[in-house]
A = this chain, B = another copy of it.
Amino acid sequence: MAGGELALIEAFERLLERGQASDPRVLRALGDDASVVRAGAYAVTSIDTVTEGVHFRSAQLTPAEIGHRAVAGAASDLAAMGAAPGEAHLALGLPTGYRGAPELMEGAENVARSCGLTIAGGDITRAAELFVSVAVTGWAEDPATLIGRDGARPGDLVGVTGELGGAAGGLALLDGRVEIDDAVARAALRARYAVPEPRLSAGRALAAAGARAMIDLSDGLATDAGHLARRSGVELELWLSALPLSPGLDEVAEQLGIAAAELAATGGDDYELCVCVPPSASAIAAAAARSCKLNLTWIGKVHRGAAGVRFADSAKPGLRGYEHSL
C-alpha cells in the first residue's frame, strides 16, 4: 500500500470516527466488517452512482463538489419519500494517482451533516474512471407517512419547491455555452449545479402536510413528473408559464436560444421536489414548504386521462428532460 493510499484510508477512518462520535444511533462505524446502527421501524433505502464523464466532469468541479453532489443526489431520494435522514455508505472508485479523495470525502461529509445524515461506512477501490456510489438509508416509524410516486389522484394540485433550471444554467456556464457578466448571478447558477441542496426537511414537512405523491427532480421536471404520472396512472397537466425560474435563467436561455420555461422544464439536477396535493391541503403544504424557507409554486393539476405529462401552454408537444442514468 503506497503512502498516499494509507493517508486516504486514514482520512476515511477519521470521517467514520467523527460520524460515530456525533450520532448516538451509530454503534459501530469503524474497523468492522459492517456498520451497526439502531434502526427505526421502517428502512427507506436508495443507492445512486455518479461517474466521471456521465454525471460530472472533474475538470468542471472541485473534488469537494463531486462528493457533495454524489451524496446530495442520493439524499434527495430520501427527501422525495418524506423519510427521516439516517446513514450513508460510500463506495469510491478512484483512478490511479487521483489526489482529490480526501477533499471529496470532506464535501460528502459536509452535505451529509447539513441534511442530518451520518456517513457510517464505505469502501475504496481502484477504478478506470472516478465514480462514487452512495447508499442512503432513512427511517420512518409508520410506512403510511412515506410518500410514493403512485398516490396522485385526479383533482390534486401539482407543486414544485424552490426554483427550476438553475442547475442546467450552471452546467451551461461551466461548459462555456453561455457567458454571464454578473459575478453574483454566475456564482449562484454554478452553485445550483455544483452544490445542490437535497430537500430533506421540506420532504418530511410536505409528507406531514398531506402530500399524496412526490418525486425529486434529478432528470428534469418533464421526465420526472412523467414517472410520477405513469406510476399513479394519471395525467399531469403542467403549466410552463407557471414554472418558478432560477434567477439569471432568462439570460442563459436567451443565449442558448430556447425559452427559459422550457429550460426549467427539461434541465436536470435541480433536486427540487415535485409534489401532488389535494386542493384542501394546498395552503398547509405551502406553509410547510415556507417553514423550510422554500416557496411552493403550483405548476399544474392532476386529471384522469392517459398516464403522462401534458404541458398545457407549450407549443411543443413531448418536452423531455434528460435521463442521466443510461
Instruction: Give chain A's interface residues, CB within 8 Å of chain B.
Output: 1, 5, 8-9, 27-28, 31-55, 76-78, 80-81, 83, 87, 89-91, 93-94, 120-129, 131, 133, 135-140, 143, 146, 148-150, 214-216, 227, 231, 323-326
Judge whether A34 and B77 touch: CB under 8 Å: yes
The 3 closest A-B pairs by CB, nearest first: A135-B135, A133-B133, A34-B46
A9, A42, A136 interface centre (most CB from chain B within 10 Å): A42
Judge whether B325 and A45 touch: CB under 8 Å: no
CB distance from A272 to the nearest CB of B (A): 13
Chain B residue at smallest Cβ distance from A2: B326
Judge whether B40 and A39 touch: CB under 8 Å: yes
Judge whether B48 and A127 touch: CB under 8 Å: no
Judge whether A36 and B44 touch: CB under 8 Å: yes
Judge whether B34 and A81 touch: CB under 8 Å: yes
CB distance from A11 to the nearest CB of B (A): 12
Given contact pairs A8-B326, A31-B149, A45 touches B137 in the complex (Cβ within 8 A): yes
Given contact pairs A124-B325, A143-B27, A44 touches B51 in the complex (Cβ within 8 A): no
CB distance from A225 to the nearest CB of B (A): 13
Chain B residues with CB under 8 A of A124: 325-326
When all copies of this chain in the complex are counted, the total is: 2
Chain A to chain B contacts (Cβ below 8 Å), 26 pairs = A1-B323, A1-B326, A27-B42, A32-B81, A33-B214, A34-B45, A34-B77, A34-B83, A35-B44, A36-B146, A43-B137, A45-B87, A47-B89, A47-B121, A47-B123, A47-B135, A49-B91, A49-B123, A51-B93, A51-B128, A54-B127, A94-B326, A123-B133, A124-B326, A128-B128, A133-B133
Bound CA span A27–B50, Å: 27
- When the two chains form the complex, which single residue of B78, B120, B125 contacts A34, counting CB atoms closer than 8 Å? B78
Judge whether A46 and B89 touch: CB under 8 Å: yes
Chain B residues with CB under 8 A of A138: 34
Chain B residues with CB under 8 A of A126: 51, 54, 325-326
